[in-house]
Amino acid sequence: MKKKIYIVEDNEKNLELFIAVLGTMQNIEIFTSNTGREGLKLIQSKNPDVIILDIQLPDINGTDICRELRKIKRFKKTPIIAVSSFAMKGDKERILEAGFDFYLSKPLSISNFREKIREFLRV
């Protein structure tokens, strides 16, 4: 059975990069949104195995989406990865406190990203 990955990212270039990297992996189905509200809604109907959330989005940010998802029983243990270019001291800690499993900083390290996805999907 295919594993589902949901990506919420408003930057087209980053989204293309995610899709390109994930596209090299087998048995993966990718879903995307470029706004937080749509993402939060559709994540609940798609039930992904791994969720990737950009922190800076035009409407609701990734941190708030993560908090909302963690309130829902079936998303308590779903791996959720934060992607952000925040570099201020304490930002990473603040983001992780929202309930993320991992923090990826932009610009993206492709090998690090691929490794984390494999680990979370156990493939």
Q: Which run of H or E residues covers position 109?
A: none
> Is 10 an interacting residue with respect to Mg ion (CB under 5 A)?
yes
Q: Is 49 in the site for Mg ion (CB under 5 A)?
A: no
Each residue 66-95 as x (binds Mg ion by CB under 5 A) or -, in order, gives ------------------------------
Residue in 6, 53, 54, 120 binding Mg ion, rule: CB under 5 A: 54
Give the whole-angstrom CA distance, residue 4 versus residue 49.
Answer: 5
DSSP-derived secondary structure letter, 1 = -
Q: Is 56 in the site for Mg ion (CB under 5 A)?
A: yes
53: Cβ contacts below 8 Å, ≥ 6 apart:
8, 39, 62, 65, 66, 80, 81, 82, 83, 100
Q: Which is nearer to Mg ion, 3 or 39 (CB)?
A: 39
The CB-of-78 to Mg ion minimum distance in angstroms stands at 21
The amino acid at 35: T
Residues that bind Mg ion (CB under 5 A): 10, 54, 56
